[in-house]
């Protein structure tokens, strides 16, 4: 298993939230944000996820005048990483982080990368602190994960 700190960003469009006014972007506080629909994203291979709340919930919700929302939160995620030790100690491992909707079906909610996949995941230069491993890179993929909820 592995643990990562991430700024998890999601964006979607809600036509009901279009507006016209002197501002082009509305920043919602946490109380106002709790009144807006947000995706029920969870990590399929997650063992434990923690949303940071020091000193306030580390969340951001912005709405642009065309009804586009940006929802960002800081998370620490502990996830499963299958290890295949056939070539120990020289093996390479890929540790996926799979996410999707908890309750909605793919007919109701579809996840797509905002940018081209190669630019959708960014690792800070000093962001990898793996004691016994070297982070060689990251790959991004899309797929359908069938869960018990649909």
Average pLDDT over residues 92-105: 86
Of 35-44, 70-79, 114-123, least confident by mean pLDDT is 114-123
Asked whether residue 113 is domain-assigned, the answer is yes
Asked whether residue 48 is domain-assigned, the answer is yes
Average pLDDT over residues 114-125: 73
In the prediction, which pLDDT does 130 show? 62
Asked whether residue 139 is domain-assigned, the answer is no
| pTM score over 0.85 | no
Asked whether residue 145 is domain-assigned, the answer is no
- Predicted confidence (pLDDT) at residue 77 exceeds the cutoff of 80: yes
Asked whether residue 102 is domain-assigned, the answer is yes
Asked whether residue 144 is domain-assigned, the answer is no
- Predicted confidence (pLDDT) at residue 6 exceeds the cutoff of 70: yes
* Domain count along the chain: 1
Can you say whether residue 44 is alpha, beta or left, with left for phi > 0 and alpha for psi between -120 and 50 degrees?
alpha
CB atoms within 10 A of CB 97: 18
Asked whether residue 65 is domain-assigned, the answer is yes
- Predicted confidence (pLDDT) at residue 4 exceeds the cutoff of 80: yes
Q: How far is CA 72 from CA 30, 42, 59, 111, in A?
A: 12, 14, 6, 15
Query: 48: which strand partners?
Result: 78
Rounded to a whole number of angstroms, the distance between the first and last alpha carbons of the chain is 26
Asked whether residue 63 is domain-assigned, the answer is yes
Closest C-alpha among 17, 99, 20 to residue 62:
17
Helix then strand then coil, % of the chain, to nearest 5: 5, 30, 60
Q: What range does the domain containing 38 cover?
A: 2-86+94-120
- Predicted confidence (pLDDT) at residue 138 exceeds the cutoff of 80: no
CATH code of the domain in which 18 resides: 2.70.170.10
């Amino acid at each position: 298993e592995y643990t990562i700190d991430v700024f998890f960003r999601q964006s979607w469009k809600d036509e009901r939230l279009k507006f016209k006014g002197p501002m082009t972007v509305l920043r919602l506080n946490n109380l106002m944000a709790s009144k807006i629909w947000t995706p029920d994203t969870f990590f399929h291979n997650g063992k434990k996820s923690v949303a940071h709340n020091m000193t306030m919930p580390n969340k951001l919700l912005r709405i642009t005048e065309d009804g586009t929302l940006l929802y960002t939160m800081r998370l620490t995620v502990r996830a499963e990483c299958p290890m295949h030790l056939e070539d120990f100690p020289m093996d390479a491992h890929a540790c996926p982080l799979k996410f999707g909707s908890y309750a909605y079906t793919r007919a109701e909610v579809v996840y797509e990368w905002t940018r081209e996949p190669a630019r959708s995941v960014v690792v800070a230069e000093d962001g990898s602190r793996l004691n016994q491993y070297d982070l060689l890179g990251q790959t991004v993929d899309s797929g359908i994960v069938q869960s018990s909820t649909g």
